[in-house]
Amino acid sequence: MNINKIINRVKNILTTPKSEWPVIANETTTVTDLYKNWIIWLAAIPAVAGFIKSSLIGYGAFGFTIRTSIGVGINSALFGYALSLLLVYVMALIINALAPTFSAQKNPIQALKTAAYAWTAIWIANIGLILPWIGLLFLLAGLIYSIYLLYLGLPATMKCPPEKTAGYTALSFVCALVLGWIVMVVVAGITSVGGGTLMGSAPGSVRSDTTFEKNSWLGKMEVASKQMEAAEKSGDADAQAKALQAMMGAALGGGDQVESLPPDVLRPFVPETLAGLQRTNFSAERNSAMGLQMSTAKASYSDGNDRSLRLEITDTGSMKGVMGLAGWAAMQSEKETDRGYDKTYKQGGRFVREEWDNQSKRGKYGIVLGNRFLVEVSGKADSMNELKAVVASLHLAGLEALKNQGVKKN
């Protein structure tokens, strides 16, 4: 990955698209290069921006700031990111399949170029999510401009006759809207059952001309992508599906395939009593989407009066490597008001989130274990130190010891 090359391409495709599209069309590249040098980085912007807005900044209304829990926020970001990576590829398949209908030339690599670079505007526009009031205007502008980029790109990449470009663009865009809606439904369905996160170490920058070690993260992505290209040439649909799943696993799992823990394995880490409070309900689930897995265990505790706590433990499973790609390990944030504070930081190599409300005496304290498991306790307490003590009382070492369980080396 060459950061200067990415920045220049973003600048050129957004400011001089008419001259940039022919350059893109004439470039020799592969599915591997398009993903590792462009798609995985640009597609991470909506995930990062969405998490910052929903879980760190929050949404303001009627004098209140509403934030999703860090678990739900990151769970949503990770699944959204995973499905976005897949969405680009599916969009390219659609563009390629529609080509003969509009007298264009079928070419899977050119179709992936078209989808990846046309979507640049909407990916960049997602930065507007963190801006108050005008954020939605940024998104709308980005969407409109991405349609325009698609319109300009199809003649160059897919050799579409000018008189048929409008129809080609319109039908491709409608398909993109349908796919986007499916992504939102899947993400909403998964994140409604519980939040999760993981914290991976950043892999560092990689030049576009780098030869990757066979067992490295990007090396495994490269191998998986070559398998996918071979499967495409074979015309075997089953082989293509398996190769695509392998590539997604390599990209999202830090180079490995990870099966999240079964609910019965998480259950022992949810005690019958917590800080002297009796457990009043418990649930544990394992969910999957597009072959990706996450497991969540949740429980509530109460003294029967006004004191209660909630515990959530999430195994991020298949998403083991995404945080490194997005650079989340270095994320820090701190906000303080008259009402309380909210901060995110790293301590002892662990990602930590604190949220406290002085008026209601309620807060949340969450930590990430083994770059895989999120443990979060929320509820009413005398102080944040009390919530920290509650988390410390859990069998954290035992849970962290399972960080490699279910990991299958590629």
Contacts of 341 by beta carbon, 8 Å cutoff, 6+ apart = 334, 335, 354, 355, 356
Residue where the block lists tokens 């006759």:
161
CB atoms within 10 A of CB 329: 16
Report which secondary-structure segment, H or E, holds 357: strand 350-357
Nearest to 245 by CA among 225, 270, 259, 267: 225
Residue 13 CB-half CA count within 13 A: 32
Q: How many CA atoms lie within 13 A of 100 on its CB side?
A: 2
pLDDT tens digits, one per residue of 57-105: 655 443 445 566 666 667 667 777 777 888 888 889 889 888 888 889 9
Q: Is 386 helix (H, G, I), strand (E, B) or coil?
A: helix
**Amino acid at position 369, single letter:** L
d(CA 182, CA 185): 5
The ranges assigned to domains in the chain are 3-194+202-210, 263-409
pLDDT of residue 269: 96
**Cβ atoms 349, 400 nearer than 8 A:** no
DSSP state of 383: -
Question: In the beta sheet, which residues pair with residue 282?
Answer: 299
Predicted pLDDT of residue 283:
93
Q: What whole-number distance in Å separates Cα of residue 137 and Cα of residue 119?
A: 17
Tens of pLDDT, residues 201-219: 223 332 333 333 444 444 5
pLDDT at 145: 85
Which one, of 29, 47, 51, lies nearest residue 38 by Cα? 29
Better-predicted residue by pLDDT, 254 or 62: 254
Per-residue confidence (pLDDT) for residue 276, from 0 to 100 = 92
pLDDT tens across 363-374, in order? 999 888 887 888
CA dihedral 302, 307, 308, 309 (to 10 degrees): -120
